[in-house]
Amino acid sequence: MALFDFDMLIAGAGPAGCTLALHLAPTGLQIGIIEKDIFPRQKICGDALSGKVLSVMKRLPGDVFHDFENTVAKIPSSGIRFTAPNHKSIDVPFLRSPAPGQSAPGYVCRRSDFDQFLFDRLKAYPNVSVFEGDAVVSAMVQPGFAMVKTGKHEFRGKVIAAADGVHSIVRKSLHNTHPDKKHYCVGIRGYYENVTGTHPENYIELIFLKELLPGYFWIFPSTGGLVNAGFGVLRSRISEKKVNLVHMLDNIIASHPLIAPRFKNANLTGKAEAHSLPLGTFQMARTGNRFLLLGDAGFLVDPFSGEGIGNAMASGEIAAQILRENFSSNVFSAESLATYDARIRKRFSQEFRTMTVMQYLASYPRLINLVINKSLKNKELGDMLSAMYTNPDIMTKLTRPGFYARLLFR
Ligand SMILES: Cc1cc2nc3c(=O)[nH]c(=O)nc-3n(C[C@H](O)[C@H](O)[C@H](O)COP(=O)(O)OP(=O)(O)OC[C@H]3O[C@@H](n4cnc5c(N)ncnc54)[C@H](O)[C@@H]3O)c2cc1C
């Protein structure tokens, strides 16, 4: 079995792993990325790229964002349509007054295209070696180095970043954590053609169905005239009821009074597929001696929206900033890497606390009905909803019980 030596090992070439590699590559460090699949590969996802993704992309070295804007197939999205359990909807633009020529605030981009785009950027760096079709089966830390084994090779590095997704083998090998199922959501999605009633400006749609709360059903206009449709639901709800997700999706599409008419002539292209989302409600150390956990491997998915791509990329960016210092001091102890933990907490703790409260509140259909009913009548409230994803203070306001009490009398 061949043995490869690198400075930095990265398990997984998704958004977290690629962002870390792209930020570190200009240092000239020898980087080895080990990826179980062969690109282009599918990733089960809603494919919505928020402003967070775009802002991390803008800070990547080179013309990455410019290239993304100009070369990748995607649908620009300028807002969200929320539909309450009482079937009332409100359209909320991301920006009330976009500047002329301003790039879209968000996109829907198939993960096979988006991930391939990031992955291809790695080829510009001769010091980055990618091993595709090579799944990590175990990881260990020895005095002086970290090591991973795949079925084909052994890899040694000074430090390893686990960016190998929700079922991270690196995390399971090096980190003694057993998150409860309440910290997971499961999502299922399919690509459908001939779905009617999509928003003329391609707003993404979040439809809060009673049976899924605090999760939701989504319809996201995608490329090629398709929509990405599916739902996310807390795993604790699913196992309570022992539901088959594919049947549940088929059932909603065939019979839900809000959804079925829009899918009357729709065809599923390919098959509907499900995957887990590890939520930021789970708190843990994301570092140890010679390793760091990034993205889904580190439970960084937004507990309310299920958004994880931007957070995964942000964790890759933060890891790169910290690791530059570790490489200059050549120290990779748990204590020295704990700075990454501190930075991740600083970046996400407040946001995750807020979103955990939002997740809780979204379990109450009457509360969602109230917010949407009132927002339809009151422009100020509509403006608040519009700014909630860009202004953390507004999101925090939405988590205060007093806000809902006052809403009753507005
Ligand atoms: C149904 C669903 C819908 C979602 N919708 C959205 C959405 O619309 N917007 C959003 O922002 N987020 C969404 N998410 C969350 C988002 O997909 C993830 O948070 C994001 O992909 C995390 O990026 P990552 O790089 O950490 O992990 P991943 O994207 O999972 O990448 C991990 C990489 O590691 C590789 N890998 C896995 N195991 C091994 C191994 N043993 N050895 C080597 N390589 C390995 C994988 O092949 C993969 O390439 C959704 C998730 C699901 C399940």
**DSSP states of 166-205 as a string?**
TT-HHHHHH------GGGEEEEEEEEEES-----TT--EE
Q: Is 54 in the pocket of ligand 1 (CB under 6 A)?
A: no
**Distance in angstroms (rounded) separating the CA atoms of residues 219 and 222:** 9
The percent of residues above 90 in pLDDT, for the chain, comes to 77
What's the chain's length in residues? 410
* pLDDT, averaged across the chain: 92
* pLDDT band, very low/low/confident/very high, at 191 (cuts 50, 70, 90): very high
pLDDT for residue 367 is more than 90: no
Residue nearest to atom 35 of ligand 1 (CA): 12
- Residue 98: which pLDDT band, with cuts at 50, 70 and 90? low
pLDDT of residue 105: 87
pLDDT range class, residue 240, cuts 50, 70, 90: low
Looking from the CA of residue 310, the nearest atom of ligand 1 is: 11
301 close to ligand 1 (CB < 6 Angstrom)? yes
Among 124-133, 198-207, 237-246, the least confident range = 237-246
Residue 9 has what pLDDT? 98
Q: Is 382 in the pocket of ligand 1 (CB under 6 A)?
A: no
> Within a 10 A sphere around the Cβ of 148, how many other Cβ atoms?
26
Percent of the chain having pLDDT more than 70? Answer: 95
Q: Tell me, what's the pLDDT at 400?
A: 74
Contacts of 372 (CB under 8 A, 6+ apart): 82, 83, 84, 86, 88, 89, 90
Answer whether residue 147 shows pLDDT above 80.
yes
Least confident piece of the model among 171-185, 233-247, 352-366: 233-247
pLDDT of 97 over the 70 cut? no
Q: Give the pLDDT of residue 27.
A: 97
pLDDT of residue 378: 80
User: How confident is the model over 388-403, as pLDDT tens digits?
Assistant: 766 767 777 777 777 7
pLDDT value at 331 more than 70: yes
- 304-320, pLDDT tens digit by residue? 999 999 999 999 999 99
Distance CA 407, CA 410 (A): 5
Q: Which residues contact 343 (CB under 8 A, 6 or more apart)?
A: 318, 321, 322
pLDDT tens, position by position, 124-135:
999 999 999 999
Measure 402 CA to ligand 1 centroid, in angstroms: 37
| pLDDT, position 357 | 84
By alpha-carbon position, which residue is closest to atom 27 of ligand 1? 165
Cβ of residue 205 lying under 6 Å from some atom of ligand 1: no
Nearest atom within ligand 1 for CA of residue 12: 34
Kindly give the distance from the C-alpha atom of residue 135 to the centroid of ligand 1, in angstroms, as a whole number.
15
Nearest to 3 by CA among 160, 157, 155: 155
Helix axes 51-58, 309-329, angle to 10 degrees: 30
Nearest-angstrom CA–CA distance, 198 and 227: 9
Q: Is the dihedral of CA 404, 307, 83, 394 positive or negative?
A: positive
Q: Which atom of ligand 1 is nearest to the CA of 50?
A: 11
Quickly state the pLDDT bin for 173 (edges 50, 70, 90).
very high
Per residue in 252-306, pLDDT tens?
Answer: 999 999 999 999 999 999 999 999 999 999 999 999 999 999 999 999 999 999 9
Taking CA atoms only, the protein residue closest to ligand 1 atom 21 is 309
> CA–CA separation, 108 vs 228, rounded Å?
9
Q: Which residues of 256-290 are buried (b: 16+ CB within 10 A; e: fewer)?
A: beebeebbeebebeeebbbbbbbbbbbeebbbbeb
CA of 146 to the centre of ligand 1 (A): 24
Does ligand 1 lie within 6 Å of residue 296's CB atom?
Answer: yes
- Look at residue 99 and tell me whether its pLDDT is greater than 70: no
For the chain, which domains are there?
A: 2-76+106-179+282-354 (3.50.50.60), 181-278 (3.30.9.10), 360-408 (no CATH)
Distance, CA 166 to ligand 1 centroid (Å)? Answer: 7
Q: Which atom of ligand 1 sits closest to the CA of residue 169?
A: 41
Are 195 and 262 in contact by the 8 Å Cβ rule? The answer is yes
Helix boundaries (H) for 156-214: 169-174
Atom of ligand 1 nearest to the CA of 164: 34
Please, what is the end-to-end C-alpha distance for the chain in angstroms?
Answer: 70
pLDDT value of position 100: 63
